[in-house]
Amino acid sequence: MNVEHEELFRPWGTVTPEFWGVQHEAQPEQAVARIPQVLRGHLTKIAAKAASGLLPDAAWMAYQLDTEVTGEYGPEHLNTVHIREVRAHLAYLAGDHATSLGWYLHTARLRATIQGPDHPDTEEATRRAYSLWRTVPDADAPALGTEVLGAVTDIHGPEAAVARQTRKRLQVLAASREARAIT
């Protein structure tokens, strides 16, 4: 994955049924799975709550759906990943960077386990987490950046572009903090 150009990928906007209707590549021995209609219906209701400004209600609905989906499909299933990405997005909309980033890193790791570290969906999930981290206030960035570095190193290796870019950003943040402490 190339992040050398520092292109910023913001978490997606309103989650729509069309978004969730796309097919995802599965492991070769598995059939390509579509998100069940009942799940899409729940996601649409969650998106409507969030769009109407009722983020706590949407987050509660997402939590309940996560519990249901995990119980039905297990923790390492793309349907579980999808709802947890929604939870990450809802936390982002609520301004809770730490929780949002935690969910995005969690789902990136899940995608790496399910789809493999080189799968485009895994790389996109990692880009989302990295890009979200780049938007957090500098005061929170070093601690959260350590989490990002651990995850991207686990997924893509220590010499992957995203790992190098994360280390570089962490060094800049540390130098900036030291400069402020001196003055």
- 67, pLDDT greater than 80: yes
Residue 3 is assigned to a structural domain of this protein: no
Among the candidates 94, 128, 154, a domain finishes at 94
Give the dihedral of Cα atoms 39, 114, 3, 16; nearest 10 deg. Answer: -10
Q: What percent of the chain has pLDDT over 90?
A: 68
- pLDDT per residue over 139-156, tens digit each? 889 999 999 999 999 999
Domain that holds residue 106: 97-183
CA distances from 98 to 16, 18, 120, 179 (A): 25, 28, 25, 25
Same-domain pairing of 30 and 63 = yes
Q: Give the model's pLDDT for residue 11.
A: 52
Whether 7 maps to a domain, the answer reads no
Contact 155, 137 (CB under 8 A): no
Q: Give tens-digit pLDDT for 21-59.
A: 544 444 433 333 456 777 888 999 999 999 999 999 999
Q: Rounded to whole angstroms, how far apart are CA atoms 169 and 172?
A: 5
Burial 140-167 (b: 16+ CB within 10 A, else e): ebeebbebbbebbbebbeeebebbebbe
Whether residues 88 and 110 fall in one domain: no
User: Do 55 and 120 reside in the same domain of the chain?
Assistant: no
Quick one: 138 and 168 in the same domain? Answer: yes
